[in-house]
Amino acid sequence: MSGNTFGEIFRVTTFGESHGAALGCIIDGCPAGIKADEEFLQHEMDRRKPGTKGAAVTARNESDKAEILSGVFEGKTTGTPIAVLIRNSNQHSSDYNNICDKFRPGHADYTYFMKYGIRDYRGGGRSSGRETCARVAAGAFAKMLLKEQGISICAYTKEAAGIKCSKTDESQIEKNLMRAPDSDAAAIMQKRIEELKKEGDSAGGIIECVIRGVPAGLGEPVFDKIDAVLAHAMLSIGAVKGIEFGAGFDAAELTGSENNDSMKKDAVFASNNAGGILGGISRGDEIIFRVAVKPVPSIYREQKTVDTSMSECSIKIEGRHDVCLCPRIIPVVEAMAAIAVADLSLRNRSSKSE
């Protein structure tokens, strides 16, 4: 299997399967001398891990303890490859015995089987959302690097289960189970998700992400525009089915005079329909994008499918699964955004002489 590495200079490779012994990442290209905050690393892992409260989240209970194996000495990065391991301890592989020869609708079971002629049916193997724990570990180190440059990233649930936030108060994000910036909307989201759980169904949503402190000039035209790299990063997350920047698809309904962000003294933009990016290069203000997250495909309803002989059959999925991915995918979105921006930041050092 190829395609397990992301980045040009800040390069992240992930490995492992949902029901294997462990998952992990190797980070190559992280500069030496970055403060390696292990407490922050574990904090990021805890934000994504399963077994937390709420109807939206799977009951699988993993500690997701991040073990740093290399690349850190006396609290700082050494410039050598950083290896992080996350061991599995609460996998229930027997939950998947009844689907060993059946393809789950909405999952990668069929496509993996057609590509490789074999698949790990225990939770989806490498196609499982559990793979993202390794991304979050790598993203924590990217955030440590970006913090020294004054760059921060904040993502939150903008919409879930058809319920939209009507206000944005970032102080509320970590105070509700949906990680929404609108506590009133979060309560309605949670109620709807509890209803869907009882019905054996699931929900999707929209995550908004704001990147602050990025200087003007990041992005590598033509093929590695900052929005193109961020889109690559986001669409590499299994449940993400779409992305838009700034005004996004709404821009198609605007005129040029409405969509253009006029400029004021000292290069201050009057609006941000462009999402902080022009010509694939950051312009120095907030980078804003949104991603569409599909409903969790593992639902507790009988569905029609085919088996490995391509014969029609029915399937009923067992085990422990999320009902809505929004709360747990937020740290993944932040992690991949951090990795993308960290890589472009390091690449930008060669763009011009001082």
> Which residues sit in the known binding site for NADP(+)?
48
Please report, in range form, the residues annotated as the binding site for FMN. Answer: 126-128, 279, 294-298, 320
Please compute, for residue 199, the number of CA atoms within 13 A of its CA located in the half-sphere on the CB side: 9
In degrees, rounded to 5, the angle at the alpha carbon of residue 99 between the alpha carbons of residues 238 and 1 is 45
Q: Which two tokens stand for residue 286?
A: 């907030």
**Spatial separation of the C-alpha atoms in residues 163 and 195, rounded to whole Å:** 13
For residue 290, what is the enclosing H or E element?
strand 287-293
Q: How many residues belong to the chain? A: 354
Do 172 and 180 form a contact (C-beta atoms < 8 A)? Answer: yes
- According to DSSP, the β-strands at 5-6 and 72-73 are unpaired
Distance, in Å, from the CA atom of 49 to the CA atom of 130, rounded to the nearest integer, reads 9
Task: Output the known binding site.
Answer: 48, 126-128, 279, 294-298, 320
Q: CA-to-CA distance for 319 and 59, rounded, in angstroms? A: 9
CA distance 139 to 80: 17
